[in-house]
Structure 1
């Protein structure tokens, strides 16, 4: 996710914050069982100066910032600030000056393992990302990595795809 944040920041005209959704079933007390069927997802967001993201160690800075954000979930508890979540989400949508790239999903949700009686899915896509700008992250359908889904204007997507692929080749 850190690498995606850096690439998105490189093709954007402004600073972008990042938000991550996380499974809170095992983080509430008492913990919910893994078989719990319902929404128990929480979010956290953080920001980093665009200059740091685009600097020489931008990916490292992004990963460290995201890691600290995730650690706060354990330290503060998953429901810290829940009373303000709706207000924060509303302000994010209304305030065009605040750009947020967020996740819709997680490889740990194991969406390709879900079977509602019709068999396991061939392809999973979160269509709401077209309106929200979120990055959909899931395990890959063949089990060998992760899938990223993201939508943006055509020119932004083309620049992002080029930058993302070039960066991967350098690793």
Structure 2
């Protein structure tokens, strides 16, 4: 598992920070293959912080047609209950993606604040 602080990722060298974290995670995985360990014991401190992803842009969910035409909107309902983030290709924009998340209102307000601030920083 690659771990990096959001504050570090949104800096000018954020891509470098992400690559470093991924490199360390890959190195750690390679070591784990040599010396088996319990994954759950090693990551016990992250319980409650793990984010799962449901779906993929490669599934082409908007190309599915069961005789009623293409879907107007696709949502992964179980993502709301499990806390997963849903991902699908964009229905209307070539190369785009749709990302869905669900949090309690207070957490969603906090998420929106930081998400839009991150977008603003990326667009400057």
Q: Which band: TM-score by shorter chain?
A: 0.5 to 0.7
The count of corresponding residues between Structure 1 and Structure 2 is 105
Verify: 1:161 aligned to 2:116, yes or no: no
Summarize the alignment of residues 1-171 of structure 1 with structure 2, pairs less than 5 Å apart: 46-50=1-5, 53-55=6-8, 56=11, 59-60=14-15, 61-62=17-18, 65=21, 98=47, 99-144=49-94, 145-170=96-121, 171=123
Alpha-carbon offset, residue 113 of structure 1: 0.8
SS in 1 for 2:86: strand
* In structure 1, C-alpha distance between the alignment counterparts of 2:87 and 2:23, rounded to whole Å: 17
Alpha-carbon offset, residue 115 of structure 1: 0.9
After superposition, the C-alpha distances for 1:83-136 in whole angstroms (9 at most, x for unaligned) are xxxxx7xx7xxx795121121111111111111221110000001111211111
SS in 2 for 1:54: helix
Cα separation, partners in 2 of 1:54 and 1:150, compared to 1, 3 Å: same
* In structure 1, C-alpha distance between the alignment counterparts of 2:46 and 2:64, rounded to whole Å: 38
* In structure 2, C-alpha distance between the alignment counterparts of 1:49 and 1:65, rounded to whole Å: 6
Cα separation, partners in 2 of 1:63 and 1:158, compared to 1, 3 Å: farther
Structure 2 length as normaliser, TM-score? 0.66
2:36 is matched with: none
RMSD in angstroms over aligned alpha carbons?
3.2
**Which structure has the bigger radius of gyration?**
2
1 or 2, which has the higher strand percentage?
Answer: 1
